[in-house]
């Protein structure tokens, strides 16, 4: 079993501007190339109006994708906590699991959540939901043949703990060491890696810590630790 702690992540991977600039350009270039191609097709007289409308909708979706990549990248660089308040973590987890239930059903994943007390963390609701969705969605997608996603929370006098555990494919030591690196993903062309980068950034700015434990063929566990809000 292999473990990585956020404290020992190589910060040079995140702060290396030449690498980040190159990776960002690559990610944006793909949807922009697609948009250009579809716009060229639309201007052709060889297609009927229905086909042109179809191509226009695809081009718009690619622009939305590029916008999403840029938004996540900017949020990763400096998460904005404009409305700090005590967030009911259990309530936010329940909302996220409800949102992801259709995806879990399609993936034959069972989801379980247990909490021992009411827990509150200080942050911004929208950003808390974003990192929760990122972690839970990644866990579901890691279980291609079905499995179990379990979440539990507990606390002591000083810290609040949240464990997100899946029974998916797991990660190698090399993959674990890449977590948090811009545009690193185990999803191939389906992912950009910005989701986890964003998650690490949000949690860090909430004075939290992430520890990741994984074993190939067994699954992955994310343990998040936050200061208790009294």
Q: Which is more confident, 190 or 144?
A: 144
- The helix (run of H) or strand (run of E) holding residue 31 is helix 17-42
pLDDT digits 0-9 by tens, 119-130? 888 888 778 888
Place 7 in a pLDDT band, splitting at 50, 70 and 90. Answer: very low
Class of domain 85-227: alpha beta
The reply to whether CATH 3.40.50.10860 applies to domain 10-77 is no
- pLDDT above 90: percentage of residues in the chain: 26
Q: So where are the chain's domains?
A: 10-77, 85-227
Mean pLDDT (whole number) for 92-114: 92
pLDDT digits 0-9 by tens, 144-173? 899 999 999 998 888 999 999 999 989 888
pLDDT digits 0-9 by tens, 202-211? 888 888 999 9
Mean pLDDT (whole number) for 215-223: 93
Q: Which two tokens stand for residue 230?
A: 């009294």
**Which one, of 159, 132, 139, 146, lies nearest residue 228 by Cα?**
159
Query: What does the longest C-alpha to C-alpha distance in the chain come to?
Result: 70
pTM: 0.68
Check residue 14 and give its pLDDT.
47
């Amino acid at each position: 079993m292999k473990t990585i702690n956020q404290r020992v992540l190589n910060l040079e991977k995140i702060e290396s501007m030449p690498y980040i600039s190159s990776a960002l350009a690559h990610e944006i270039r793909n949807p922009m190339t697609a948009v250009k191609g579809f716009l060229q097709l639309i201007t052709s007289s060889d297609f009927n109006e229905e086909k042109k409308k179809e191509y226009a909708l695809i081009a718009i979706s690619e622009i939305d994708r590029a916008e999403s990549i840029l938004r996540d990248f900017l949020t990763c660089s400096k998460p904005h906590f404009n409305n700090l308040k005590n967030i009911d973590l259990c309530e936010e987890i329940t909302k996220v699991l409800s949102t992801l239930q259709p995806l879990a059903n399609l993936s034959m994943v069972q989801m379980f959540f247990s909490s021992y007390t009411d827990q509150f963390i200080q942050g911004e609701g929208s950003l808390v939901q974003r990192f929760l969705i990122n972690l839970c969605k990644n866990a579901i997608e890691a279980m291609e043949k079905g499995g179990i996603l379990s979440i539990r929370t507990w606390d002591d006098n000083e810290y609040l703990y949240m464990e997100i555990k899946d029974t998916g494919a797991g990660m190698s030591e090399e993959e674990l060491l890449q977590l948090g690196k811009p545009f690193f993903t185990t999803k191939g062309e389906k992912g950009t890696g910005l989701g986890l980068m964003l998650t690490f950034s949000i949690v860090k700015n909430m004075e939290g810590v992430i520890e990741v434990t994984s074993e190939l063929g067994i699954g992955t566990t994310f343990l998040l630790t936050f200061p208790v809000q009294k």
